[in-house]
Structure 1
């Protein structure tokens, strides 16, 4: 009887009045716009620096911009530059990036300039990391600091939630995924009112962040692969094979992650760890080629533009090299996230599957492989699903991705993540 009463209380929970939600609209809009503008600003500055470092500068020196020599020089130089920031700039560019994920704590304001500088240098210099983790950390910190002074009566947890949702929307163009990520965070907490009421402000921030980025920065997530038609039985079979296979490869990298991190930690000083990471990344770039450099979004488009331009072996090599580069970059102290490089890895794996079995549509191979690798590396189900979906313009892909996610999730759930605790043990 008591359980029935409790269940009835949950199902008849009253909705929050509109007068309570309306005051949240302006803060959510402000945070969404601010989160997007910070992402655009850092990305634009890094792209301008990248254009100089990998274009006019090597040409002026009489060196090919993607020659083995220049790739090696640039990656080591980037390690030295980021090492100097971590060593000398106040705040040391934030915590060890191996210990951070999408759910970032608010950092002291003193830390943020160094973290942004280290991120921009990394993005321009070529290590295989994306901007997501540092950008989320900075936006959460700024929102918590300013929001606590602007609206003192608002709950302290509101600002990090808005900043995280706004940044995810800005980064991936998926406001729905951002709201669903927030719903996962709310699942273990007692909430007042209906779930949709609690998602109202984060969804607003995510939608505004995504739209601001789309209007000002115009990111291109759709790879332009041929759209799938109506799915067939063989497509279902391909989906449930490719996604777990990609997840298994990702789990291999996750298993190696704490050991690689411990090896770099033995060097103890950032001016040793980061240049050493640059040396290893330079060797990997020489093996995998220039497409395995950088965060990978532009390089993914190049792969998808001409899927027949590489063999299955070349796609497989690029995927493995990029995965190794991701592990090294995240272990050696470069500030950055893991989602954007994982998209490249999944795309290369999906195109490898298409090259091996031409009957597998390229769009299906790419989407399911991206889903599998993201599930293994991030353990963020909604972000993985929506990121994989936005890469290919095919209405039929959503159902196949949901089916493919089931065996892939059974493979990765309960296993270590590509994130470490302060003592170096993996988070589960």
Structure 2
């Protein structure tokens, strides 16, 4: 006889339900990775032209103040034209968009990808994650609903999200963490792992596709911490909290900056003005404060001990302002990669002030705090910080450091606005 518990327990998805999901998950995961790799490759080639070929031909220093101002202003003009004229205006206002969201119309995707590629190549302080995920979702839902009309669009969106996350980080782990966080409290049949089955296949396909065609790595070459002590735990708690507070400063300033650019009303005014400001910030902070920030973070960490605490603090502040300007004026791009650079610069500044703090503790804890403030993605923040540390011994410290940092950011303004221009909380 069935008990009350048996009657209410969710039924496990049988193998015959899960197996047919494997092929579409593989296709969408690999396709999402190829989309990401294609955009990245085109952006890298254009970046090489803008920042190497042209300056060499003109006998101008590639990172001279004048060249940075010219290129970033021109990038603002180019992206402004795309946003103005492309179908769907290259997607909705990026200040109101997080990772994922409702699928865009497929006709919007070309303009969004072009705008993102131009921004990546031109040195704008935004990453590829948000436009790539939005584009992958739009294409996967559009094609999936035509191939299998009875399958919900949310299924195809989850595959595209997972596949792109797998491609971005070169591992399906980040996708599993993001989706498990998104699925909490969401109604659905079957266990969590039944619902994660197809997205994990897509994430694995995306990660493997990226591994085959590229060499993604978040490892920064930080000295490994093998035997953490109480002083390391205290440092992690303090630095992560400082990182969260620093990240929140930008979250509080973001709505006002977005309104200021909004008064210009037209993308051909907003984006060139933003590009000019980014060029001036690049001239102030140097070339390390340009671009999405991953390669620049590796260069910064690789020069451990070269910069003073003041210089590192300046890099963190300039990059933070550049991220705010780029996101507020309408450039298409994500915030995760620039936030990693901001956290790394801040952590190194703290370590330069207090040399007794281990570099891995300082950098990974600061990145954790800044990411928590700017993304509110707890699992992704912890994952990225742990990968940067490249030390299993750091994981327990970072898990504990997450707690005070989360108390600082929870309920506070996010680096994302609603459609009225008010900060989400």
Say yes or no: does 1:134 pair with 2:141.
no
Return 229-238 or 179-188, whichever deviates more: 179-188
Between the aligned partners of 1:180 and 1:281, the Cα distance in structure 2 is 33
Between the aligned partners of 1:274 and 1:260, the Cα distance in structure 2 is 13
Q: What SS does the aligned partner of 1:190 have?
A: coil
Between the aligned partners of 2:395 and 2:307, the Cα distance in structure 1 is 27
- Determine which of 268, 272, 276 is the counterpart of 1:271: 268
Is there any run of 5+ residues in structure 2 with no aligned partner, and where?
none
Match of 2:203 in 1: 206
Deviation for aligned residue 1:373: 0.3
Between the aligned partners of 1:50 and 1:57, the Cα distance in structure 2 is 10
Match of 2:249 in 1: 252
Match of 2:81 in 1: 84
Q: If the length of structure 2 is used for normalisation, what is the TM-score?
A: 0.97
Instruction: Return closer, same or farther for 1:271/1:7 CA change in 2, 3 Å cut-off.
Output: farther
Match of 2:42 in 1: 45
Deviation for aligned residue 1:58: 1.0
Match of 2:299 in 1: 302
Q: Does the 8 A contact of 1:104 with 1:133 survive in 2? A: no
Say yes or no: does 1:31 pair with 2:25.
no
Between the aligned partners of 1:28 and 1:270, the Cα distance in structure 2 is 37
Q: What SS does the aligned partner of 2:344 have?
A: helix
Q: Does the 8 A contact of 2:100 with 2:137 survive in 1? A: no
1:107-161 per-position Cα deviation (integer Å, ceiling 9, x unaligned): 1111110100000000000110001100000000000000001122222210011
Is there any run of 5+ residues in structure 1 with no aligned partner, and where?
none
- Determine which of 371, 389, 392 is the counterpart of 2:389: 392
Say yes or no: does 1:354 pair with 2:346.
no
Deviation for aligned residue 1:14: 3.3
Q: Does the 8 A contact of 1:104 with 1:136 survive in 2? A: no
Say yes or no: does 1:179 pair with 2:176.
yes
Between the aligned partners of 2:305 and 2:212, the Cα distance in structure 1 is 33
Say yes or no: does 1:282 pair with 2:279.
yes
Return 184-193 or 199-208, whichever deviates more: 184-193
Between the aligned partners of 2:94 and 2:288, the Cα distance in structure 1 is 24
Q: What SS does the aligned partner of 2:187 have?
A: coil
Match of 1:262 in 2: 259
- Determine which of 315, 328, 333 is the counterpart of 1:331: 328
Q: If the length of structure 1 is used for normalisation, what is the TM-score?
A: 0.97
Match of 1:321 in 2: 318
Deviation for aligned residue 1:7: 8.9
Between the aligned partners of 2:8 and 2:381, the Cα distance in structure 1 is 30
Q: Does the 8 A contact of 2:236 with 2:401 survive in 1? A: yes
Q: Does the 8 A contact of 1:174 with 1:386 survive in 2? A: no
Instruction: Return closer, same or farther for 1:129/1:7 CA change in 2, 3 Å cut-off.
Output: farther
Between the aligned partners of 1:193 and 1:97, the Cα distance in structure 2 is 34
Aligned-CA RMSD value:
1.5
Deviation for aligned residue 1:8: 3.4
Instruction: Return closer, same or farther for 1:263/1:7 CA change in 2, 3 Å cut-off.
Output: farther
Shift >4 Å, 4+ stretches = 9-12
Say yes or no: does 1:409 pair with 2:406.
yes
Say yes or no: does 1:63 pair with 2:60.
yes
Instruction: Return closer, same or farther for 1:289/1:152 CA change in 2, 3 Å cut-off.
Output: same
Q: Does the 8 A contact of 1:367 with 1:388 survive in 2? A: yes
Say yes or no: does 1:371 pair with 2:371.
no
1:56-110 per-position Cα deviation (integer Å, ceiling 9, x unaligned): 1012112100000000101100000000111112221111110111022211111
Match of 1:111 in 2: 108
Instruction: Return closer, same or farther for 1:145/1:376 CA change in 2, 3 Å cut-off.
Output: same
Q: What SS does the aligned partner of 2:401 have?
A: helix
Q: What SS does the aligned partner of 1:351 have?
A: helix
Say yes or no: does 1:222 pair with 2:255.
no
